[in-house]
Chain A
Amino acid sequence: MANYNPVTQEILAELEKAAPGHVVTGADVNPDYSRDEMPIYGTRMPDVTIDAQSTEEVSAIMKICYEHNIPVTTRGAGTGLVGGCTPVCGGVVICTMRMNKILSYDLENFAVTVQPGVLLQQLADDALKHGCMYPPDPGEKMATLGGNVATNAGGMRAVKYGATRDYVRAMTVVLPNGEITRFGGTVSKTSSGYSLTNLIIGSEGTLGIITELTLKLIPAPQATVSLMAPFEDLEVCISAVPKFFMKHFRPQALEFFEKEILISSEEYLGKQVFPRKIDGTDVGAYLLVTFDGDSMDELDPIVESASEMLVEEGALDVLVADTAPKLKDIWATRSSFLEGIEEQTKLLDECDVVVPVNKIASYVAYVNDIKQNYDFEVKYFGHAGDGNLHIYACSTEMEEETFKKQVDQFLGALYQKTVELGGQISGEHGIGYGKVHFLESAMGPVNMELMRGIKKVFDPKLILNPGKVCMDLKSK
């Protein structure tokens, strides 16, 4: 582990000079800054927190921390799920939430420039006012765009539009030594050396601090229809998924889930939206699919043939949501699965493996098979369209230590199976702190050394977000 220095009164005075009025220390530090949404991976209070206001301020702070060898962790809204923004070595936390302005639209190039603290929902709503859509659509709408880029967040529409990575044109980055640099440009292609932009995307705050982003937009689709297909059981439901691609349907979103997870989300929101019975048959699982396009006339035939296919594949019926209130209801329910689970459980851990779409059914069968070996309850749902499964271990009765031990074995088995099937251990949540030891076994030593090499080029003193992604606390 790198040797870090404590934040002395002198250093504090320097920081206060660099960011006057925004430096908080000691008992005044907000405990929220000690964790993200997964405290199971540990919490740690930082010594200092700074709500940064500008690129220059971030740069000045980094220069001081670089010089004095102080660990720095950047955070946004703290909605991460792998302990990515937990300041595991203490030191300084830079929060970008106050840098929350949408700076400008470039509608000729379909681009928008934002500060990193702008929330996903804020941009989505604002872009619509300009007739545009920002396609990435992770479930957590209160996450910051800086955090979305740092984790290459995916979300529900990734099946048609891709993940956050596909929508980053350019960025301003402060390097660990305080230097300010700009990567990328408002262009639709580039073959200009290594893509530094793409190195920062998904680097989880370990290589540099994003202080400005230029993101790509698309013209907002004029028509959206969601279909809800209830199935008697999950197996039949999942086996319908690859058919969407074989028949070239191009859904905007394609999600599957079991009834139990739906019920906990509906209870959390206090509203029953999905039918639990169809013509007297109990529903076991649901497939939710969205199509978008320029007009309803364009979508009608697609919706009809997709519905026909779903019924052929065993759907009990196909229900249609094409009005704003209905669309809002079903997608709000879908977006609250995690909150629904969190509300009902004391101990929670999770993973978000991604496997080839045609392997989802066998992967789920494997999960069902091994879950009996553990004392916790296993719940899952998934972005069926891109093979990304969210699997949760939940318990209210178990001792924390036993829970953690069992979960570690459970995740180890899941990750091994993922790799066997040609998948990756995280589709969109990242590695953070919680999954570092699993990455090594999935990636192998050669790839890990490449990653560590990159880390050291950007951050030779290893001060930026230590203990994360490819470097555990013992790495040098």
Chain B
Amino acid sequence: MNILVCVKQVPDTNEIKIDPVTNTLVRDGVPSIVNPFDGYALEAAARIKDDAPDTKIVVLSMGPKQAENALRECLAIAADKAYLVTDRIFGGSDTLATSYILSRAIAKVEELEGAKFDAIFCGKQAIDGDTAQVGPEIAEHLGYPQVTYALEVKSAEDGLHVYREAEDGKEVIGVQTPCLVTFTKPSFDPRFPTIKRKMAARKAQITPLTAAELTNIDPAHAGLKGSPTKVKRTYVPPRKEAGVVIKEETTEASAHKLYELLSKSHVI
């Protein structure tokens, strides 16, 4: 099986501080990490490879040259090969432009690798933008079926069985390949890289894909110019108060409790 994992390098939001004056994120000196959800996608691919060692895992990212570090980390963990889409004209892309560029880059990588990908794995969202749009949009550009919020994936004869997070438990969805799956946080973390993989990743060749190579991209749909979304303002949303969960023994009792609480707080 051939799996492509899309990863994004993001600032470690645990380390981020808010500028009290401008109310924006202070990114200076904040370390960069592989977007955690993309790490889960990579681990899911690695688990398929554990069972089927002839599986090939390719990682793809878009960003400045520094994003190579994130790709090297993925190579150290489980990936066999890495590509970086990098060009100034792609800068400022919104989710639509990004997913368009990535879908075209995927076609290019398939051409270079000489094989189609059976599955594209993505994190459900990046922790810096939190849009959760890029994965599903890539699927739309490619015309692939998609399953979101996956926890784990198992390879099956007829495609993939995706264990998906549902409101009240898990559901299993069968999906035909080629397909796209986005991952949420499972109960396990990505594995530790071994020293051998780490050393190999340090020296590995990361293939850059610039606009010159990606001739299948229409520049009118890429970068700032090709992005219909305009960010007018960013701000930190006010912290929501925790809600109250009412879970009495019966529905009637829960309704009673709700009534009691609402009338106590003079809502009704």
Contact = CB atoms under 8 A, between A and B. Distances in A.
Interface of A: 227-228, 271-273, 275, 300, 303-304, 307, 317-326, 329
B31 interface: yes
B31 A321 contact: no
Given A320-B193, A324-B15, 7 more contacts: A272-B188, A275-B191, A307-B195, A320-B76, A324-B31, A325-B33, A325-B36
A273 B12 CA distance: 20
A318 B31 contact: no
A187 B242 CA distance: 51
11 contacts: A271-B189, A275-B192, A304-B199, A307-B195, A317-B194, A319-B192, A319-B195, A320-B194, A320-B198, A323-B73, A324-B12
In order of increasing CB-CB distance, the 3 nearest A-B pairs are A319-B192, A307-B195, A318-B195
Interface string B161-200: 0000000000000000000000000001101111100110
Nearest to A228: B192
Contacts of A321: 192
Nearest to B15: A324
B33 A320 contact: no
B250 interface: no
Contacts of B76: 320
B194 A319 contact: yes
Contacts of B194: 317-320
Contacts of A304: 195, 199
Interface of B: 12, 14-15, 31, 33-34, 36, 73, 76, 188-189, 191-195, 198-199, 202
A361 B31 CA distance: 40
A320 B14 contact: no
B195 A273 contact: no
Nearest to B198: A320
A380 B33 CA distance: 35
A345 to B, nearest CB: 27
A300 B195 contact: no
User: Which of A228, A275, A323, A324 has the most CB atoms of chain B within a 10 A radius of its CB?
Assistant: A323
Contacts, number: 41
A324 B195 contact: no
Nearest to A330: B192
A227 B195 contact: yes
A321 B73 CA distance: 11
A297 B117 CA distance: 36
B66 to A, nearest CB: 14
A271 B187 CA distance: 8
A325 B202 CA distance: 20
Contacts of B73: 323
B202 A300 contact: yes
B189 A273 contact: yes
Nearest to A271: B189
Nearest to A318: B195
Nearest to A300: B202
A320 B195 contact: yes
A435 to B, nearest CB: 38
Nearest to A272: B188
B159 to A, nearest CB: 29
Contacts of A227: 195
A319 B193 CA distance: 6
Given A272-B188, A273-B189, A329-B189, A323 B195 contact: no
B239 to A, nearest CB: 22
Contacts of A318: 194-195
A325 B127 CA distance: 14
Contacts of B33: 323-325
B189 to A, nearest CB: 7
B25 to A, nearest CB: 17
Contacts of B12: 324
A317 B193 CA distance: 10
A25 B76 CA distance: 61
Nearest to B197: A320
Contacts of A324: 12, 14-15, 31, 33
A329 B188 CA distance: 12
Nearest to A321: B192
A290 to B, nearest CB: 14
A323 B34 CA distance: 10
A326 B192 contact: yes
B15 to A, nearest CB: 8
A329 B199 CA distance: 22
Nearest to B34: A323
User: Which of B31, B189, B194, B195 has the most CB atoms of chain A within a 10 A radius of its CB?
Assistant: B195
Nearest to A323: B33
Nearest to B12: A324
Nearest to B202: A300
A276 to B, nearest CB: 12
A329 B39 CA distance: 15
Contacts of B36: 325
Contacts of A322: 198
A34 to B, nearest CB: 35
Given A323-B33, A324-B14, A324-B33, A303 B195 contact: yes
A324 B32 CA distance: 10
A228 B192 CA distance: 9
A421 B254 CA distance: 68
A129 to B, nearest CB: 10
A163 to B, nearest CB: 30
A118 to B, nearest CB: 22
Nearest to A315: B195
A322 B192 CA distance: 9
Contacts of A320: 76, 192-195, 198
Nearest to A227: B195
Contacts of A271: 189
Contacts of A303: 195
